[in-house]
Amino acid sequence: MLKNYPFSAVIFDLDGVITQTALVHSAAWKKMFDEFLLNWSKKNETEFQEFEHNQDYLPYIDGKPRYQGVESFLKSRNIELPYGDPSDSPEMETICGLGNRKNLTFNEVLEKEGVKVYQSTIDLIYELRKNGIHIGVASSSKNCKPVLERAGILNLFETIVDGTVSAELGLKGKPFPDIFITACKNLNVSPNKAVVVEDAVSGVEAGKNGNFGFVLGVARENNHRELLIHGADRVVSDLEELGGIKGMMDWFTNGLSTDNNSLIYYDLVPEKEKQRETLLTVGNGYFATRGSMEETLASICHYPATYMAGVYNRLVSKVAGRDVENEDFVNCINWLPVTFKISQGEWFDLDKAEIIEIQRELDFRSGIMKRKLTVKFEGKTTRIESERFVSMHQRNIAAQKYTIKPIDYDDEITIKAGLDIDLINDGVDRYRSLNQKHILPLEEKVESNSGYLVGCTTQSNIRIACTYILDANKEGSWQPLVYKGKVFSLFTACIRSNEEVTLTKRIVLNNSLSNDDPLTLVLVEGKNLKSYEDLRELSEVAWRNIWTRVDIELEGDRLAQKIFRLHLFHLFVTASPHNASLDAGIPARGLHGEAYRGHIFWDELFILPLYNLSFPEISRSALMYRYRRLPAAREYARAHGYRGAMFPWQSGSSGREETQVVHLNPVSGEWGDDYSSIQRHVSLAIAYNIWEYYHSTLDQQFLKDYGAEFFLDICMFWTGLCHKDAEDGRYHIRGVMGPDEFHEKYPNAKRGGLDDNAYSNLMTVWALQKAYQMRNIIGEECFRNVARKIGLNEQEWQRWKNIRQNLALCINEEGIIAQFDGYFELKELDWEYFKKKYGNVYRMDRLLKAEGLSPDEFKVAKQADVLMIFYNLLPEEVNRLLQEMGYDLPKDYLKKNFWYYLNRTSHGSTLSRVVHAKLAHLVGEEKLAWQLFREALISDYIDIQGGTTAEGIHAGVMAGTVWLALTVYAGLSLCEDIPSFQPDLPYDWEAMKFNFIFRGIRYYVEIDRQKIVLTAGAPHNIEVKAKVWGKEYILLPGIAKTIEI
């Protein structure tokens, strides 16, 4: 009886994997290109440069379709030839002609020498076939079948997808995964259940891009590292090393799980380092430390920084003759510094060393970042291993371990480790001309293997204190080293080749926001610190406890699985259970960088609903951050002549508006108005989060003590903006911006703002409806107390009802809701012109300005605006709002509005794809929904916006994509009093497992294509209900309920 394996098919490349023809190909390419290049150099009077195997064949030709290889190589030499046609004769100097010329040479060698196979590959194929595993070949070569026939092994393969098939079907060549996916389709096997075996860089890239279950690299060219860098999960020199089918089994049972829970980099790419440092950040909500390497200083490639929740500082900078004040998220300290020197040599400099091997791995499960590094520096080879973590168990503790192992020398080694607080904010290029010295050193001290630093922010007067304790695993001498704002301990020991010396550093970090005397606290806690191993174990346990409540387990899509965990990890680095006792909001860019100056925006609308499902106390804390700044919001409203609470677009330490009201045009050198601050809808996002928190938790006490007060005060602000027009009898809201930041004002207008922004008006009506429900929830006595506090009388209350029923929208005859009054009069944009000229049109506003135009003139949006209402609310609820407002729209109005606005949106914000993915799903455009969702999902992972991830994560997108997985694809809805499900798993997702808490009850959910299994973790005396596809079911506590779908 055949064993049930976790994979069903193995797809082999041909050349270099099955047959020993890769070198034959290389020789044929060399012969053809050398002849061509010699003639070309004579004709063009240029120097002849021969075709080389390592420099030319491997990077430009290997693994690619023939004509694509020719084109790739010629481009590397800046040679332009016409493409020609596959029927071109070998004598023609076209891309196809040269490819055909090479093929003649290859066939001549093949005919003369025959075909040799790799016996270890053939042995593995026989073993796989014997165990019922399907076997296929996917090759770029058009000679695939003849080669297999000559080798006498054609009968071993159930499907062959080669260059000929690719040409017939129009398949893209490697690194696109088309040929491998086609082979899987022919075998009726999903890619996640298939193995790709490849020897070419482009081939393993194709396997990775196809999201295959296992990508196995065969390093025939001593290119282990290159194959790992480009996507191989494991690399062997020959398939004999794999250990047969057991080796493949080991990946699926062990290796895949590790990969799904980690982020790994096998190279150092200078231009990508800052983005990777962001994604390798470790933290615990109280503070977080970027994933910079221990030996690096701030530079064009590296930016070590640690940020602490709520630590801001204001500075004034002189810009173009004007004083500009900004509040920034402070780079508080660098606690990572560790480096070494050999004997009396220079201190190790990573940027000057030859990197032989590097591997960095962030383990999401444990919160530990590890690094393995082999370098040659000053002629000597050294192996370095390090790891670090910020404790999730105790919020003000972090630790690191640093191990050095000489490979080819015996010598004296000195390790330098310590702290640095003499820093500037330097993480965002466009802020670089501003005053960035936010922290000044106050005190420093070192005693042999320990020391401390104290610094203070220059304006906010926040004191930051940190102490460190070092321990070494062998005898040696300690020496202190102190500079202003920097403290180090130097450890010196003699060490032999292949012997290891390990240093551990434990730190305690605190600030005066959370303790009046942070230095005393860190010194006392430093004396009582547990060992490195104990601290690590406690932190790992704390992380495990988080993962038991937030994890999403996915089968069938390893990329989505990895990125869900990446997103969840960084969300809890940004805000964790520790935040329940902190006065801090959730920065839009996390605790990971200085973009947006660490401020809090409306992005919490995308973030807090997710925390409601796992740790509602974190949501409550973020709301309390807003509540404590309610006086500032009231003052902000009064200063602009409004009532109620007007929360700022950008919020930092005090709750005042941190958005600049003027900006400098770098081209003209002139100052102009900046209208960003009139995005008043941020207050509606806060109101939405108040309601969602209550609805998910039924925390009436929060509502009575805090929530109702600032919810109703926000309503007071918005109703104050409403003015009744005597002509149409409707109320209008003027002079605000919606979520689309491309439209700040009307064309040629001298004041900012737009009238009757549909999103703002609809959310205002929604808030007023919820205000009536809230009155009933908190009771009359509490309501009267709140009303008295905010100045709400009964006459005003009745006016609110009138506004609900008569607030204006602009809607055309087809049922398209205008983004704002006057939108339909704007000009249409020639999208094709801009796409052809610029390619990337995400920031269409900048492209228009470069052409001397303004986005205010055109029907173009940065992100969802009208459609945003359908992200917040179910279509049924939006319909009720419209009905109460007196509008009757066609049945298909949602679909019409979706296409109307999608076709006019550039997706200049990463949040845009999140919203449009949900809308596409709502209107039944599943393929488009999946495409938009996928783009949003990988946006930080691949830095889709070209450099922005280096400045911090996009927390709203990270939360929003996880939220979509739960609400769109698992079909979870919490809009009623009980959870309901309408599962709709994407094609690649075979099963999904997660849990969540709703109104004090934890639900455990398992979904596959046939069924949903629900379990309620509730006391036995509570009746628990849930809906699946509209039908209500009773769940017995602790007993799984299986429902066929």
> How far is 906 from 913, CA to CA, in rounded Å?
10
Q: Which residue do the tokens 């082979």 mark?
A: 183
CA distances from 182 to 173, 194, 796, 927 (A): 12, 12, 66, 19
What's the 3-state SS for 310-365?
A: CCEEEEEEEECCEEEEEEEECCCCECCCEEEEECCCCCCCHHHCEEEEEEEEEECC
Nearest to 441 by CA among 334, 527, 524: 334
Residue 884, number of CB atoms within 10 A of its CB: 16
**Phi first, then psi: what are they for 805, rounded to 5°?**
-90, -10
Identity of the residue numbered 81: L
Whether the bond between 747 and the residue before it is cis, its omega within 30 degrees of 0, is no
> Could you tell me how far CA 126 lies from the centroid of its own chain?
42
> How far is 134 from 129, CA to CA, in rounded Å?
7
Q: Are 358 and 229 in contact (CB under 8 A)?
A: no
> How far is 224 from 374, CA to CA, in rounded Å?
15
Dump the DSSP string for 699-713.
-HHHIIIIIHHHHHH
> How far is 333 from 439, CA to CA, in rounded Å?
9
Q: Output b/e per residue, 743-768; b: 16+ Cβ within 10 A.
A: bbbbeeeeebbbbbbbbbbbbbbbbb
Q: Are 305 and 283 in contact (CB under 8 A)?
A: no
CA distances from 137 to 8, 145, 371, 796 (A): 14, 10, 36, 75
Helix and strand element counts for the chain (H, E)? 32, 37
What's the 3-state SS for 735-775?
A: CECCCCCCCCECCCCCCCEECCCHHHHHHHHHHHHHHHHHH
> How far is 117 from 20, CA to CA, in rounded Å?
5
DSSP secondary structure letter of residue 252: I
> How far is 64 from 15, CA to CA, in rounded Å?
11
Residue 802 bridge partners (DSSP) = none
Structural tokens at position 325: 């004040």
> Is beta strand 1024-1028 parallel, antiparallel or unpaired with respect to 439-447?
unpaired
Which strands, in side-by-side order, build the sheet including 338-342? Answer: 338-342, 411-420, 486-495, 477-483
Residue 161 bridge partners (DSSP) = 138
Nearest to 33 by CA among 102, 96, 130: 102
- Which residues are annotated as catalytic? 741
Q: Are 370 and 360 in contact (CB under 8 A)?
A: yes
> Is beta strand 134-138 parallel, antiparallel or unpaired with respect to 9-12?
parallel
Q: Is 243 left (phi over 0), alpha (psi -120 to 50) or beta?
A: left
Q: Are 1035 and 1026 in contact (CB under 8 A)?
A: yes
Identity of the residue numbered 1017: G
Q: Which residue do the tokens 């609820």 mark?
A: 877
Structural tokens at position 682: 């941020």
